[in-house]
């Protein structure tokens, strides 16, 4: 709980000083002119949140490996952290797979490894191919974990796991006995349980896997809560836009929204995982960014992401770099420090 307050200092980096910003998040490069959205800082109501200090952070994680597990918004967060840390030490681009899904950066001066392990759903899922073409319909196996991220799990000291936006699709949910439900389907013999149920079950499976991983050494797993989109006057595929240039106030957001519901169920699953983890010495905690980001419709690329005219839609899901997503690293360092020390 808190509010965005004016901050004349702005970001620690610029789109010119950080060479690793993906072009689709480099909003100024693509023509965004306003800079006021950079001049705000998150201020909690009942505590102090220190500004992220990249030098202190690198000293804190020296000799460790930190992995982001999740979708392209998780990658967005990693890229923000990468830019902040590059103000102190230039990272080595250590590994990139053929699809740029798994990416590994290394800071040799601090023996610190930063990576993204990309996954759509956390659990095993595949898109149906109909008549040789992708259908936009997915099958999720809630009892099977996506091996794209579990293979590297044992080497990580710290985990930041997040996911959500891929669940807003037509999905059929499976367990070991077959189809048990769906999301956004119109099937007479299948119950539509909704996005929340599917997301909850995926997080439950993922956190249970981390808790029960015998060969894993992760000391802390942080769950970044739902990061809202801000489409106005339409959805992503019907001309929705996000062209605001300043934050919303607390009274302008609704904590009864679907975004808040998804945040709440994630908090429930974190608590359940933490109860089991306490028996084994593993810790779980939340990076609770949902309310803060509900108030930031001004921070998305919108039309300034490089592909607007080719694909015909605005990006109101991801976040400009630099931008309000950098505040997630204020959250990250403070929560991690409290859990480790």
282-303 CB burial, b ≥16 within 10 A, e <16: bbbbbbbbbbbbbbbbbbbbbb
Kindly report the number of other CB atoms within 10 A of residue 164's CB atom. 26
* Integer Cα distance of 203 and 44 in angstroms: 27
User: What pLDDT is attached to residue 196?
Assistant: 96
Active site residue 72: yes
- Compute CA 199 distance to the chain's CA centroid, rounded to the nearest angstrom: 14
Among residues 79, 124, 315, 330, which one is catalytic? 315
Among residues 11, 157, 318, 326, which one is catalytic? 318
DSSP E strands, the chain: 2-6, 40-44, 65-70, 92-96, 102-107, 112-118, 123-130, 133-145, 158-161, 170-175, 178-183, 220-224, 283-287
Q: Tally the residues of the chain.
A: 341
What's 332's DSSP letter?
Answer: H
User: What pLDDT is attached to residue 307?
Assistant: 77
Q: What is the pTM of this model?
A: 0.95
CB 270 within 8 A of CB 211: no
User: What pLDDT is attached to residue 279?
Assistant: 78
Report strand pairing: 158-161 vs 220-224. parallel
Which three-class secondary structure state does DSSP give residue 40?
strand
Dihedral-angle region of residue 239 (phi above 0 means left; psi in -120 to 50 means alpha; beta otherwise): left
* Integer Cα distance of 239 and 308 in angstroms: 11
Active site residue 192: no
Residue with tokens 């202190």: 56
* Integer Cα distance of 35 and 14 in angstroms: 11
Among residues 11, 72, 162, 205, which one is catalytic? 72
Active site residue 318: yes
Please report the domains of the chain, with CATH numbers, ordered by start residue: 2-340 (3.40.50.1110)
* Integer Cα distance of 279 and 338 in angstroms: 19
* Integer Cα distance of 291 and 229 in angstroms: 12
User: What pLDDT is attached to residue 259?
Assistant: 92
pLDDT tens-place values along the chain, 341 residues long: 899 999 989 899 999 999 999 999 999 999 999 999 999 999 999 999 999 999 999 999 999 999 999 999 999 999 999 999 999 999 999 999 988 899 999 999 999 999 999 999 999 999 999 888 888 999 999 999 999 999 999 999 999 999 999 999 999 999 988 999 999 998 888 999 999 999 999 999 999 999 999 899 888 999 999 999 999 999 888 889 999 999 999 889 987 788 999 999 999 999 999 998 887 788 999 999 999 999 999 999 999 998 766 667 899 999 999 999 999 999 999 999 999 87
Which three-class secondary structure state does DSSP give residue 151?
coil
User: What pLDDT is attached to residue 55?
Assistant: 98
User: What pLDDT is attached to residue 310?
Assistant: 61
């Amino acid at each position: 709980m808190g509010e965005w307050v004016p901050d004349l200092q702005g970001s620690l980096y610029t789109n010119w000083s950080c060479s690793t910003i993906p072009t689709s998040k480099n909003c100024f490069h693509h023509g965004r002119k306003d800079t006021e959205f950079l001049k705000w800082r998150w201020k909690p109501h009942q505590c102090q949140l220190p500004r992220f200090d990249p030098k202190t952070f690198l000293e804190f994680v020296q000799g460790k490996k930190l992995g982001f597990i999740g979708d392209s918004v998780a990658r967005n967060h990693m890229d923000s952290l990468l830019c902040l840390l590059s103000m102190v030490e230039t990272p080595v681009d250590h590994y990139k797979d053929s699809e740029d899904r798994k990416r590994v950066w290394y800071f040799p001066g601090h023996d610190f490894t930063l990576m993204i392990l990309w996954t759509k759903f956390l659990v095993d899922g595949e898109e149906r191919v109909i008549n040789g073409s992708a259908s936009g319909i997915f099958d999720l196996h809630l009892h099977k974990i996506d091996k794209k991220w579990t293979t590297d799990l044992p080497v990580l000291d710290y985990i930041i796991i997040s996911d959500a936006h891929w669940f807003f699709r037509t999905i059929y949910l499976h367990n070991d006995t077959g189809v048990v439900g769906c999301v956004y389907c119109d099937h007479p013999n299948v119950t539509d349980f909704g996005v929340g149920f599917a997301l909850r079950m995926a997080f439950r499976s993922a956190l249970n896997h981390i808790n029960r991983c015998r060969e894993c050494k992760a000391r802390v797993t942080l769950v970044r809560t739902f990061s809202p989109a801000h489409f106005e006057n339409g959805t992503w595929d019907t001309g929705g836009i996000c062209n605001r240039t300043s934050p919303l106030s607390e009274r302008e957001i609704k904590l009864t929204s679907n975004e808040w519901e998804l945040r709440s169920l994630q908090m429930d699953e974190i608590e359940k995982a933490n109860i089991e983890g306490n028996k084994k010495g593993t810790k779980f905690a939340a990076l609770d960014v949902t309310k803060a980001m509900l108030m930031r419709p001004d921070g998305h690329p919108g039309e300034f992401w490089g592909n607007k005219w080719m694909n015909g839609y605005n990006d109101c899901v991801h976040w400009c770099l630099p931008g309000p997503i950098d505040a997630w690293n204020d959250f990250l360092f403070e929560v991690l420090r409290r859990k480790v020390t």
